[in-house]
Amino acid sequence: MTAEGKKILIVDDEPDVREFVQGVLEESGYQFITAADGEEGLAKAKAESPDLAILDVQMPKKDGFRLFSELRADDATKSMPVIMLTGIGDRTGLRFDAEDMGEFLGSEPEAYIEKPVDPEKLSETVGKLLSGQS
């Protein structure tokens, strides 16, 4: 399956971030589903079965960590690759990476990208995950 037609779920309460992520990835022919909070993100993940999810961490209603855990706990979504976007390290003084978060969550997100997001890194990471190279 080529990149074209693959569905990416973007969950972030910042419209600017959603727009930016779409702008970065749109040339590759992906389809986008967006959600503005964790609850909406979970509902859309179950309803639309995206091929990959990009999650913010700090969100209203359901934060990114909780959303990630619930996605992993559901058979329908547990194999979906997840990229987490976060600037949480700035506030906590901690630096999260996939391994750290994995220890915390009991399962590792496939990738972690810190805000402000580097478009090339985002594009490359998404490309690898969707082509199964991760």
Partner 1 sequence: MNRRLRPLLSPGEGIEDLMPELVWTTPKGRQEHELKAETRIGRGLGNDIQLPDFMASTFHATIACQDGAWIVEDNKSTNGTFVNGDRQQRAILHDGDVITIGDVSLTFNNAVRPQSSTIFIRENAAAETLAGGKAPAGARHTGDILDSVFRDDAELTQFKTSSLTVSADVAGQRVADAGVLERRLKVSYEISKGVAATLGLPEIMDRTLAALFEIFEAAERAFILLVDPDTGEVGSAAVRRRVPDDTEEISMSRTALRQAMDRREAILCMDALSDARYSDARSVVSLGIRSMMIAPLVFQNQVLGAIYMDTRHGAGRFSEPDLELITVAAGQVAGCVANARLHEQVVRSERLAAVGQTVAGLTHCIKNILQGITGGAYLVDKALAKGDMDRAFSGWDMVKRNNAFMEDLVFDLLSYSKERQPEYRATDLNELCEDVCKLAAARGDTKGVQVTFEPDRTLEPVEVDPTGIRRSVLNLAMNAVDACANKGGSVTVATESPRDGFVRVMVRDTGCGMSDETRAKLFTMFFSTKRSKGTGLGLPVSKKIVEEHGGRIEVASQEGEGTTFTVCLPPTQLQKGECDDGRREEDPDR
Binding-site ranges for partner 1 (CB under 8 A): 13-14, 16-17, 19-20, 23-24, 58, 60, 87, 90-93, 115-117, 119
Measured distance between the N- and C-terminal CA atoms of the chain, rounded to whole angstroms: 16
Nearer Cβ to partner 1 (16/75): 16
65 vs 80, which CB is nearer to partner 1?
A: 65
Reference 87, options 2, 9, 12, 8; nearest CA is: 12
In this complex, which beta carbon is closest to partner 1, that of residue 4 or of residue 16? 16
Nearer to partner 1, 23 or 29 (CB): 23
- Closest separation in Å from C-beta 87 to partner 1: 5
- In whole angstroms, what is the distance from residue 21 CA to residue 77 CA? 21
Classify the C-alpha dihedral 9-11-14-17 as positive or negative. negative
**Least distance between partner 1 and beta carbon 62 (Å):** 15
Give least dist CB 8 to partner 1, A.
17
Whole-number Cα distances in Å, 34 to 46, 63, 90, 91, 109: 13, 15, 25, 26, 19
Q: What angle do CA 121, 75, 102 make, to 5 degrees?
A: 45
Minimum distance between the CB of residue 86 and partner 1, rounded to whole angstroms? 10
